[in-house]
Chain A
Amino acid sequence: MSAILHAQALGKRYGRRQALAECTLEIPPGHVVGLVGPNGAGKTTLLKIACGMLAPTSGRIEVLGEQPAADPAQLARIGYVAQDTPTYANLSVADHLKLGAKLNPRWDTELAQARIEQLDLDPRQKAGKLSGGQRAQLALTVAVAKRPELLILDEPVASLDPLARRSFLRHLMESVAENGTSVILSSHLVSDLERVCDYLVVLVSSRVQLAGETDDLLAQHYRIVCTRREESDLPSDLEVIWAEHTDRQSTFVVRGDTETPTGDWVADHLELEDLVLTYMERAADSGRRAKTQKTEDAR
């Protein structure tokens, strides 16, 4: 089976602002992919391009082997829930299901009904009167009952309280397990994704910093604490991601192969959150450095 998302040097520019740059990605099928990054990193832009809401300014993208939103058949294969989970405020819950049934050839009425019952939603209630969590669940129901091969969710839990967040993610995982759907979901909180994702893409300041299966990533990264030394003193097969020095001690985050690097130091695996934050910090740092460089050059 081909990749669910294949991007080649993808870029998007809004006027003078580069929202996404040099994005090259190849995501294999059958994963729940977490797209992490700080606010304004380009997550929404990438997801909107993937579902065809936006056209890229450079590069190529293929989703499930085809151009996004090329025709009704391609639209039917992808389910998308936009940021803030929009719904028609003056349409009732039942109307939303009817809408889905009328507009999608593969609509699963039973699944939709079952989910609404399970969620305890009143079919006659207007979507505008639902709580944020219920609205998110309704939007997810419409996207899932469409029976897509790929589900794209843009910060689906951002506006939900912890309880609604957990229940939303649980329902998501249930329907994914039942139907074998691939999922891409974005968030700026790693803790949300940690529980559900087995593939991770870290996007910071419009660039992809890290992508891979969560288990592999965790296995390849180590934190090394040792007596103070320079990066060049470490074995050359270790890629230094992050270095921090005090007077007598150095801390490195390195990427190597799966075997623990041995030496006169303590090497430990990182938590997923630490790993992601390291890459975010590194990207933010190099961005800052580039900016100072530029102002210095200008002088």
Chain B
Amino acid sequence: MIWLTWRQFRAQAVAAVVILAAATVYFVATGLGMHHSYAADLASCTAQNNCDTVLNQLQGSYMAAFNLAEILLIAAPALIGIFWGAPLIGRELETGTHQVAWNQSVTRTRWLAIKLAGVGLASIITAGVLRAWK
């Protein structure tokens, strides 16, 4: 049953990992850039005595990345619900495949428990990774 749950969930899991990895790379790159320009700008601004303007500029130029991270964090639960939660049971009922699953030598309770536990665990891990960004 664990195999079947994983086999059905594989595509969605791979997609999520790719998105998370891409986002991580992007944010790490932005972060390094930010760090660099902050150090460089701060060093030069004391000499020119215009630190307020420079800091404002710095904030402005990284606002987009910052907003994106914010949106992703807010949207993550909804996305998980749409792409992982809804098809978990819904697709089986829609295509009638629950009738296949329920007539193997596995009770319905076990079927539901393993599905919920498996995808639930994946959601927790994803949330953990997102949390680590902050």
Contacts and interface: CB of A to CB of B under 8 A. Distances in A.
Interface of A: 51-53, 69, 71-73, 75-76, 78-80, 82, 84, 86-91, 95, 98-100, 102-106, 139, 142-143, 146
Given A69-B102, A87-B100, A146-B104, 14 more contacts: A52-B102, A53-B99, A75-B107, A82-B103, A86-B95, A86-B97, A88-B100, A95-B7, A99-B4, A99-B7, A100-B104, A103-B1, A103-B106, A146-B105
Contacts, number: 68
A69 B111 CA distance: 13
A112 to B, nearest CB: 13
B3 A78 contact: no
Contacts of B97: 86-88
Contacts of B3: 98-99, 102
B99 A82 contact: yes
A75 B96 contact: no
B8 interface: yes
Interface string B1-43: 1011001100100000000000000000000000000000000
Nearest to A88: B97
A53 B105 contact: no
Contacts of A106: 105
Nearest to B4: A99
Q: Which 6 A-B pairs have the closest CB atoms?
A: A103-B104, A86-B96, A76-B105, A82-B99, A80-B103, A104-B105
Interface size class of B (residues with CB under 8 A): 10 to 19
A266 to B, nearest CB: 49
Given A75-B104, A104-B104, A80 B99 contact: yes
A89 B105 contact: no
Interface of B: 1, 3-4, 7-8, 11, 95-97, 99-108
B18 to A, nearest CB: 18
B93 to A, nearest CB: 11
A51 B11 CA distance: 32
16 contacts: A72-B106, A80-B103, A82-B100, A82-B103, A84-B96, A86-B95, A88-B95, A90-B11, A98-B3, A103-B1, A103-B101, A103-B104, A103-B106, A105-B105, A142-B100, A143-B103
A238 to B, nearest CB: 44
A73 to B, nearest CB: 8
Contact of A75 (B11, B95, B103): B103
Contacts of B104: 75, 99-100, 103-104, 146
Contacts of A105: 105
A139 B106 contact: no
Nearest to B111: A103
B4 A72 contact: no
A102 B95 contact: no
A90 B97 CA distance: 11
Which among A51, A69, A99, A100 has the greatest number of chain B C-beta atoms within 10 A? A99
Contact of B95 (A71, A89, A104): A89
A78 B103 contact: yes
Contacts of A71: 107
A102 B100 contact: no
A52 B104 CA distance: 12
B34 to A, nearest CB: 42
A126 to B, nearest CB: 12
A103 B4 contact: yes
B24 to A, nearest CB: 28
A72 B107 contact: yes
